[in-house]
Amino acid sequence: MRYLKRKNAAAEQSASDVSDVVQGLLDQMETGGEQVARDLCRQFDGWAGDVLVSEAQLAQAAEKLTAQERADIEFAHDNVRRFAQAQRATIQDTQIEILPGFVAGQRQIPVQSAGCYVPGGRYAHIASAIMTITTAKVAGVGYICACSPPSGPDGIPAEILYAMQVCGADQVLNMGGVQAVASMAHGFFGLPKVDVLAGPGNQYVADAKRILFGQVGIDMVAGPTDLLVLADGQADPFVVAWDLVGQAEHGANSPVWLVTDDVGLAEQVLKQVPDMIASLPEPNRSSAQTAWDDLAEIVICEDRDEMVQVSDRYAPEHLQVQCADQDWWLSNLNAYGSLFLGEETTVAFGDKAAGPNHVLPTSGAARYTGGLSVAKFMKTVTWQASSRDAMRPIAEATARISRMEGMEGHARTADIRLAKYFPDEVFSLGTNKVR
């Protein structure tokens, strides 16, 4: 393999160390409670209005949207809901008879409460509300709190509020940033403490979730979004180039990569991208330009086997395949957050309305985890039950293994059952004999 374009190592900036700042904010709220959260909301979001969004405000949000806008949000919600329901159907209770009379099993139990973070700022992330709230709802979570940074005099944008309402949020916080994450985790403003925090956010939100993990569950610690496109000679370079540019518009720290075995295609993509970026409005144009100049890479491989090796090494959040023989790629690729097969689909479909979740592992984390699913809002717990006869060989083995480990107390919990249930027999268990 060789690089037609490499990232600019000199220009690449390492992520800022924000942990001290985030920890300080969390400590303030731990001590000062919701009043500190209000103060931080006023400081960072410029919001001094109501923190809790009322039912009337939610209704007003719907009235501010056109019928088409409401229909599009409902369409996306329905697709995400049905995909999540299909996921839920694969997560089942089960049991097995380990030995005759000794039964063990597992139950799938949804968490009682969840907090869904919806990013704000430059873009109105309607889809993030749909992805997180809908998935928690389908999982069976009893209480869902959603939050998003207020924007302007009305607070959270109407389109986000409408999506939150359609998807089933029980309460909405006019708040973003570390203060929102902490408020949901601590149960400020009279709300239940959440069991799980989910949803993308900036580096401060991501670090707050990381620090709070253990006190609450989290979906993942997400970094900047990324995309890798695999393309062979049959791919359309115009389409490939636009897919790369579309993802680069997320921000200056969002890498995109093209991996191909066709030099001609790679050269055409490299030639077309600058004009495409130049056609974007600001600030999208500046973000995409910086991401392309500093972080984008184009890798030339010998064949498709090497393309797979390179792709698995990058382990991208989004992996797009514009190559012949889609089934081969589906069978051979192993490290990605979400896979998009063929020119007929693209990352934006998955990000907005197709159905599969767009909250995905970044920064190579797809090597060991997948994205947000109903399973993130559920607990797989196990149980066991036994007849007295069935527990006998289990108890005998348990006592012997426990003594090999030096755990005499564990051994005796098995011994006493053998002695109680089989009083007429003698058991040789390690150094002790129990009658």
For residue 326, the domain's CATH number is 3.40.50.1980
70: exposed, middle or buried (Cβ count in 10 Å: 0-12, 13-18, 19+)? middle
* pLDDT class of 11 with cuts at 50, 70, 90: low
Q: Is residue 264 part of a domain?
A: yes
| Digit-coded pLDDT (tens) for 378-425 | 999 999 999 999 999 999 999 999 999 999 999 999 999 999 999 988
Do the strands 378-386 and 102-110 form a parallel or antiparallel pair, or are they unpaired? antiparallel
β-strand 113-117 against 427-429: which pairing, if any? unpaired
Q: Are residues 158 and 238 in the same domain?
A: no
Q: CA 359 → CA 91, 237, 351, 397, distances in Å?
A: 19, 28, 8, 45
**Cβ neighbours of residue 41 under 8 Å, at least 6 residues apart?**
47, 48, 51, 150, 174, 175, 176, 177, 179, 180
- Write out pLDDT tens, residues 32-63: 999 999 999 999 989 999 999 999 999 899 99
Where does the pLDDT of residue 152 fall: very low under 50, low under 70, confident under 90, or very high at 90 and above? confident
Name the percent of the chain lying above pLDDT 70. Answer: 96
Confidence at residue 427, expressed as pLDDT on a 0 to 100 scale: 73
Cα separation of 122 and 280, whole Å? 15
- Residue 435, pLDDT above cutoff 80: no
Q: How far is CA 188 from CA 192, 209, 254, in A?
A: 8, 16, 34
Asked whether 86 and 375 are in contact (CB, 8 A), the reply is no
- Do 197 and 238 lie in one domain? The reply is no
In a shared domain, residues 215 and 235? no
Residue 293 lies in a domain: yes
What digits encode the pLDDT tens for the residues 228-263? 999 999 999 999 999 999 999 998 899 999 999 999
With respect to residue 382, please indicate whether it lies within any of the assigned structural domains. Answer: no
Residue in 317, 358, 405, 410 annotated catalytic: 317
Q: What does the pLDDT read at residue 342?
A: 96
Give the residue numbers spanning the domain of 416.
387-434
Annotation says 318 is catalytic: yes
Q: Checking DSSP bridges between strand 227-231 and strand 318-322, what pairing results, if any?
A: parallel
pLDDT at 153: 87
| Beta strands 143-148 and 171-174, pairing class | parallel
Whether residue 106 is contained in a domain is answered as no
User: Which two structure tokens, joined as six digits, stand for 117?
Assistant: 């973070």
pLDDT digits 0-9 by tens, 107-142: 999 999 999 999 987 777 899 999 999 999 999 999
Give the end of a domain, one of 323, 341, 370: 370
> Of 164, 197, 219, which marks where a domain is finished?
219
Q: Are residues 277 and 205 in the same domain?
A: no
Report the pLDDT averaged over residues 209-238.
95
Look-up of token digits 């303030």: 28
DSSP element (H, E) containing 160? helix 158-167
User: What pLDDT score was predicted for residue 9?
Assistant: 74
Please say which residue of 187, 219, 251 terminates a domain. Answer: 219
- Cis bond upstream, residue 283 (ω within 30): yes
Residue 430 has pLDDT above 90, yes or no: no
Q: Which amino acid is at 367?
A: R
Residues 182 and 231 in one domain: no
Shared domain for 285 and 336, answered yes or no, is yes
> Are residues 253 and 316 located together in one domain of the fold?
yes
Give a yes or no: residue 12 inside a domain.
Answer: no
Do 191 and 314 fall within a single domain? Answer: no
Whether 310 maps to a domain, the answer reads yes
Lowest-confidence range among 169-178, 223-232, 393-402, 423-432?
A: 423-432
User: What's the confidence (pLDDT) of residue 301?
Assistant: 97
Q: What is the pLDDT of residue 64?
A: 95
148 and 254 share one domain: no
Q: pLDDT tens, 261-316?
A: 999 999 999 999 999 999 999 999 999 999 999 999 999 999 999 999 999 999 99
In a domain, 7, yes or no: no
Q: What is the pTM of this model?
A: 0.91
> What pLDDT is recorded for position 429?
65
Identify whether residues 306 and 363 lie together within a single domain: yes
Supply the mean pLDDT for the chain: 93
Residue 16: predicted pLDDT: 56
pLDDT on residue 94: 97
Domain count within the chain: 3
In a domain, 380, yes or no: no
- Sequential DSSP letters for 279-346: TSPTTHHHHHHHHHHHH-EEEE-SSHHHHHHHHHHH--SEEEEESS-HHHHHHH----SEEEESTT--
Specify whether 194 is located in the same domain as 322: no
Q: What percent of the chain has pLDDT over 90?
A: 88
- Residue 258: the pLDDT is 98
Contact 226, 366 (CB under 8 A): no
Residue 76: per-residue pLDDT:
97
Same domain, 134 and 253: no
Q: Active site residue: 77, 186, 250, 318, which one?
A: 318
Of 28, 239, 202, 211, which Cα lies nearest the Cα of 128?
202
Structure token digits, residue 360: 């995905």
Catalytic status, residue 317: yes
Number of H helices, E strands in the chain: 16, 16
Q: How far is CA 61 from CA 69, 118, 157, 161, 189, in A?
A: 12, 16, 8, 6, 22
